[in-house]
Structure 1
Amino acid sequence: MNLRFEHMVYIFLIFLGGCNTCPETYQPTGTELSSDCNISNDTLRILCTQDQLDLTVKLTDEFQKCHGKIITEISLYERMTPKEIMSQGRNDLVLVSDAYAPNIPDDFWRTKYARDGVIGIINKSNPFCKKITESGLGKQQLASLLTGVRSDGLKQVQGYDQYRPIKVFICSDEFLPCKLWTDFIGITLNDLNGVRTVSFQDLIDSIRTEPLSMGFCCQRYAYDPLTRMEIEEIKVIPIDCNANGTLEDKEKFYDNLDMLRRAMWLGTYPCHSFLNYYIIASEQPTNRLHIDFIKWVLTEGQKELHAEGYIMLNTRIINTEIYKLNELLASL
């Protein structure tokens, strides 16, 4: 017999100096539930940042399909750090990226649940696009373009005779991906010379309208999650890892999202450009529902992360974390 239920999600806004708990409206969803699912009336409490909200809702939506009529409270925090929130007595799970790592105390419990990669992109109409995708760009060449040291842009980098200045777009609101990319190519954030955008989507839209432009973003923005191919008008810049001026077979993995993510998963793509995502808690979780959710994210939830364009964890990391969680459950 199938049971119908509603998944209820309350979204709260938390600000420094007070907690405004007027819930935003989230439309409940009805889902068919098989009779062998575990019915629970417990509450799953999760904190996340605005950039993680859509993913958090997606994960909890899928998780609840086999966990009965649970209530999920998803709270947004903007100015308060996880430590400040938890010091108020909250024992929620917190979904964060590396960007918040400096605000997470060393003694907090944590587990990695996904990764993302930072990549360079150009407009497909760029006259140098074919040459770039065939030979790639080395770190020094990327640094020259992003800093504007070579005012003639791709002319000197690719050996073209015709003068072609290039316009660089930079997402100023995404600090950590910018930091990862600049560290990788050997420059500082202050060295970046380009037009600032407010989001990666804004950056993508800007590059689409400027044939002679480039920038960098997280890989899930440059590929269509359904077709797994590069989005319209955007081409990913291959990295010439050994800077020999030739893109070798082992460096060719940009044709589709799955090839690129496999290269990132195997470590073929430079690991310095990775962004990690964590589930953290102020102490070792003791709520069984919380532990079940973490285990689900590390197993079945990896399929959802894959569909959303994130990089799944490798089997070794997953098995290690699941073993720890099973031991934790056995001790309760």
Structure 2
Amino acid sequence: MRRHNYLIYSLFFLFACVSCAPKVKEGYDEKTGYIGNISISGAFALYPIVVLWSEDFKKEHPNVRFNISAGGAGKGISDVLSNMVDIGLVSRDLHDQELSKGALPIHVAKDAVVGTFNSAHPNFDLLQKRGLTQDELIGIFVKGKYKRWKDIDPRFVDEPIEVYVRSDAAGAAETWAKFLGERQEGLHGVGIFGDPGLAQAIKDKRFAIGFNNINYVFNLKTKGTSDGLAVVPIDINADGVIAGNEDFYTNLDSLTAAVAEGKYPSPPARDLTFVIRSDRKTKLLAAFIQFVLDKQQQGYLLENGYVPLNESLKEEELKKL
């Protein structure tokens, strides 16, 4: 394995390089490659892999400085449209008003949001076998129909359902809400900032349920779920059993394969996107995005919990540059 899980739990304000260095004029040197600065902010989902991409890009272009921070997809799109950063990391569909303001989306990978619960839940085995239907998830996160676990299924424990959602404007929350026929504002539960915080809140509460990006649920070394977390299987055909084409939650590889093959619903499977301003397509930004879409860099995605783009999709995105 090329990479380690420590990046996922980095502090939100970690910079890949020197964040407070003076702005360097953009240029190109035949010996050392590109010169300049690239500032990036946004989605927690993309943050770990973007740090890795920036490190690899600097090996070829050592005079490029990166300033990278995670703060949620909402911050990423806001920062790029206000010219505070060069690239916004976005993990949801763009809104019409964002496109009208000059946002140019370039898809760089795919992943998914998954429902999560505490692995110490007394009905762990039953939840793995039966899963939850889309309607049951709507009853938990949107309508507040189910207050106690036994309200969903009399075989479940008679304990309150502790629902956790995101407090920040987040692509994961927007994507999960879209799967449930809602907007993020329509999700009900205790609001927690960021993917790491939401994952920890679920780990801390035995009867909790929430949602997370794949990378915050699975251990990249073992390919199993992280300690204290479990994935809520989606009973797509609502027959009360997770079997056949629905049974792909046992490890990271089988889940990412299901996302790539379209077996896992979309949403909550989704595109992960670099957003730049259409009027700021500099040569340096184009070079970095082309680097990210290169076959070698895309090849790192699966081992880090993401799904790469196929060749035809990559060509479509490259044409935008």
SS in 2 for 1:60: helix
- The worse-fitting range, judged by mean Cα deviation, of 42-51 and 266-275 is 42-51
Rounded to whole Å, the distance in 2 between the matches of 1:186 and 1:110 is 24
SS in 2 for 1:258: helix
- The worse-fitting range, judged by mean Cα deviation, of 234-243 and 71-80 is 71-80
Please state how far the C-alpha of 1:272 moved relative to its aligned partner.
1.4
Instruction: Answer yes or no: is 1:317 the counterpart of 2:305.
Output: no
Instruction: Answer yes or no: is 1:83 the counterpart of 2:78.
Output: no
Query: Aligned in 2, Cα 1:292/1:255: closer, same or farther, shift over 3 Å?
Result: same
Query: What is the aligned partner in structure 2 of residue 72 from structure 1?
Result: 65
Query: Aligned in 2, Cα 1:199/1:46: closer, same or farther, shift over 3 Å?
Result: same
1:83–1:105: 8 Å Cα contact kept in structure 2? no
Instruction: Answer yes or no: is 1:63 the counterpart of 2:71.
Output: no
**Between Structure 1 and Structure 2, how many residues are aligned?**
288
1:123–1:213: 8 Å Cα contact kept in structure 2? yes
Rounded to whole Å, the distance in 2 between the matches of 1:135 and 1:159 is 13
After superposition, what is the alpha-carbon deviation per residue over 1:111-162, rounded to whole angstroms, capped at 9, x for unaligned? 21022311101111112211111111101111222243122x3213223275
Query: Aligned in 2, Cα 1:307/1:163: closer, same or farther, shift over 3 Å?
Result: same
Instruction: Answer yes or no: is 1:149 the counterpart of 2:145.
Output: yes
1:115–1:311: 8 Å Cα contact kept in structure 2? yes
SS in 1 for 2:135: helix
Write the letter of the residue equivalent to 1:318: K
Please state how far the C-alpha of 1:297 moved relative to its aligned partner.
0.6
* TM-score normalised by structure 2 residue count: 0.77
Write the letter of the residue equivalent to 1:182: A
- The worse-fitting range, judged by mean Cα deviation, of 275-284 and 139-148 is 275-284
Query: Aligned in 2, Cα 1:183/1:56: closer, same or farther, shift over 3 Å?
Result: closer
Query: Aligned in 2, Cα 1:298/1:182: closer, same or farther, shift over 3 Å?
Result: same
Rounded to whole Å, the distance in 2 between the matches of 1:291 and 1:148 is 46
Query: Aligned in 2, Cα 1:191/1:296: closer, same or farther, shift over 3 Å?
Result: closer
Write the letter of the residue equivalent to 1:58: L
Query: What is the aligned partner in structure 2 of residue 139 from structure 1?
Result: 134
SS in 2 for 1:180: helix
Query: What is the aligned partner in structure 2 of residue 301 from structure 1?
Result: 297
SS in 1 for 2:302: helix
Please state how far the C-alpha of 1:94 moved relative to its aligned partner.
1.5
Rounded to whole Å, the distance in 1 between the matches of 2:66 and 2:156 is 60
**Higher RCO (C-alpha 8 Å, min separation 6):** 2
2:118–2:207: 8 Å Cα contact kept in structure 1? yes
2:218–2:225: 8 Å Cα contact kept in structure 1? yes
Within the candidate set 35, 43, 61, 2:35 is matched to 43
Query: Aligned in 2, Cα 1:100/1:262: closer, same or farther, shift over 3 Å?
Result: closer
Write the letter of the residue equivalent to 1:84: S
SS in 2 for 1:46: strand
Rounded to whole Å, the distance in 1 between the matches of 2:67 and 2:217 is 28
2:116–2:230: 8 Å Cα contact kept in structure 1? yes
Query: Aligned in 2, Cα 1:99/1:252: closer, same or farther, shift over 3 Å?
Result: closer
Please state how far the C-alpha of 1:226 moved relative to its aligned partner.
1.9
Please state how far the C-alpha of 1:220 moved relative to its aligned partner.
1.1
Query: What is the aligned partner in structure 2 of residue 129 from structure 1?
Result: 124
SS in 2 for 1:271: coil
2:149–2:159: 8 Å Cα contact kept in structure 1? yes
2:81–2:101: 8 Å Cα contact kept in structure 1? no
Moved over 6 A (4+): none
Rounded to whole Å, the distance in 1 between the matches of 2:157 and 2:267 is 34
Query: What is the aligned partner in structure 2 of residue 116 from structure 1?
Result: 111
SS in 2 for 1:11: coil
1:108–1:283: 8 Å Cα contact kept in structure 2? no
Rounded to whole Å, the distance in 2 between the matches of 1:258 and 1:308 is 10
Q: What is the aligned-residue identity percentage?
A: 24
